[in-house]
Amino acid sequence: MAAVSIDLEMKRFTNEAFVEKAKKLEGKLIENLVKPAGIVTVDEKGKIHPGAKLEDLPGMLLKKGDSVVLDFEDHQVGYVSLKLKSAGSPQDAPAYLRLKFGEIAKELIEKSEEYNGWISRGWIQEEYIHIDVLPVCLKLPRRYAFRFLEIYVVDTSLKYQVVVEEVVCRAVSAVSKEGVACVADPRMSQLDKVSLRTLQNCMQSVFEDGPKRDRRLWLGDLRLQALTNYETFKNYDMVKRCLYLFGGLTRDDGAIGACLFTEPEYIVDDTFLFDYSLFFISTLKDYYEASKDLETLKDLWQPAYRQIELARERFNDNYIIEGSDTFWCFVDWKKGLDKQASAQAIYIYTLNAAIELAKILGKEELAKQLQEEKGYCISAALKYLWDEKLHVFISGAKRQVSYASQVWMVLAGVKKDQEAGALLKHITEINPDMGMVTPYMNHHYVEALILCGEKKMAVDYMKYYWGGMLSYGADTFWELYNPENPEESPYGSSAVNSYCHAWSCTPAYLLRKLEKEEKTNGISCN
């Protein structure tokens, strides 16, 4: 029997054997030294313009109020060192500097003192530093996610200036793009390149959701990162490590958390989401299909199946899920989104995965029971959530119509084949107010289109949505992008938005999935 420990105060449960397996799977990070590619200026709209020549940097004398913006040309994740000295008279007062990092240039003109959002301003990558003695090699202890670095001189004295001799970033990632083949279609190469960079920079000791923020392991992100990883970097051990962490760090009733921390200790967060917990099953199934690792499947089957048992508690006697006013299910950041219908479909979606895994493990009777339950849930969805007049699924007491409800019902197989394709075309035509705002939800829309055989619609939408971020100069894809309001934020300010985010990396997966289908069926998506 596996060794376990229980934290009664926080009602957490730890399977020590699983956590030990996860620790042994931690890989060594690949390091590269990266220097700035140029000097730029940033205008009041956040647009970049060419600045002085980089070779002139060591000759620039920076006094009070002066600044220089270094452009590293691509998104970096790593540790920054600055080689600084003084010029003029002997240093008679500390050099007082502000260092500001930006994943996009607009972050450099954000005024952090005006931020009033609901998550910590501690995520804003800005440092005020006193330097008593120059010259110095200043090694910043934090890890940063950035493309741009602004060095601003708050003050020196009237007698000397600061000279920036050199700036270097020790960039880190668990993987290298070397050996990863690009997609065949050259018109999609930039989309693929930025997707790969997004995933690469989110692969650290675990699959992080964002290297700027929140820098931890979220299950919804992991599922999509893992799918993309199987088609590109093929780092199976990292997926396995994350699965064991989620399976080994649970609530005392066995619920798998939405996210967990690895520092200063391995611990599950206190956020539990209906859909994320269930996605542990789907992620485990995808991992087994990619790796054929039966031992891990056997180990983690029980914590996976436990999520179904817990999810059943939310269903009423009619096999319809009942939500709540709390943050109980994610689906998307869209404000006002009712999640009942999506949650119903996600339960069916994960039942599909559980049935497959039960059969692989030889649990035929359980697979049969799950199949029957799935039938009841589908029948209930068609009876209570399908509007025959509107020809859409509705959600909640107000009978809300949203993209999310239709997309998840298609992915779950509640509507199939021609009916599914017609439903997606219909919801696209009526374009309800309750749209989609995250790349996470938009990924599922594209995946549903592919499932229905609407491959050209899928490609065109990727060009529109992720291509929209490219039009704004994205080096990595963002946590949130609303084409109608690119600066939208669920946090009260875009200053804390993440511009390299795990759930945005999936075009690299979707494009390769389409290429495979083209080779198999000989059908072009162009």
- Binned at pLDDT 50, 70 and 90, residue 336 comes out as very high
Dump the DSSP string for 17-77. Answer: HHHHHHHHTPPPPEEEEE---EEEEE-TTS-EEE-S-GGGGGG--B-TT-EEEEEEEEEEE
The span from the CA of 171 to the CA of 79, in Å, is 7
| Exposure string for 296-324, b = 16+ CB within 10 A, e = fewer | bbebbbebbbbbbebbeebbeeebbbebe
Element (H, E) at 349: helix 340-360
Query: What confidence tens digit (pLDDT) does each residue in 133-162 have?
Result: 999 999 999 999 999 999 999 999 999 999
Considering the chain, what percentage of its residues have pLDDT values greater than 70?
97
CA angle 4, 291, 513 (to 5 degrees): 125
- Binned at pLDDT 50, 70 and 90, residue 341 comes out as very high
CA angle 239, 242, 248 (to 5 degrees): 140
Residue 330: φ, ψ to 5°: -90, -75
- Binned at pLDDT 50, 70 and 90, residue 243 comes out as very high
Helical ranges in 219-273 per DSSP H: 219-231, 236-248
| Best CA proximity match to 161, nearest among 223, 219, 104, 96 | 96
- Binned at pLDDT 50, 70 and 90, residue 517 comes out as confident
The span from the CA of 241 to the CA of 263, in Å, is 15
**Do the beta carbons of residue 48 and residue 260 sit within 8 Å?**
no
Tokens of 84: 């600084």
pLDDT at 13 exceeding the cut of 70: yes
Q: At residue 250, what is the residue type?
A: T
How far CA 162 is from CA of 132, 189, 503, in Å, comes to 12, 42, 41
Domains, the chain: 30-173 (2.60.120.260), 186-521 (1.50.10.10)
The span from the CA of 28 to the CA of 475, in Å, is 25
- The pLDDT of residue 2 is 45
**Do the beta carbons of residue 241 and residue 206 sit within 8 Å?**
yes
The span from the CA of 411 to the CA of 30, in Å, is 37
- Binned at pLDDT 50, 70 and 90, residue 522 comes out as low
pTM value is 0.95
- The pLDDT of residue 493 is 86
How far CA 222 is from CA of 282, 283, 420, 425, 436, in Å, comes to 11, 8, 27, 29, 20
- The pLDDT of residue 41 is 98
- Binned at pLDDT 50, 70 and 90, residue 8 comes out as very low
The span from the CA of 334 to the CA of 281, in Å, is 25
Query: What confidence tens digit (pLDDT) does each residue in 28-77 have?
Result: 999 999 999 999 999 999 999 999 999 999 999 999 999 999 999 999 99
DSSP designation for 381: I
Q: At residue 221, what is the residue type?
A: D
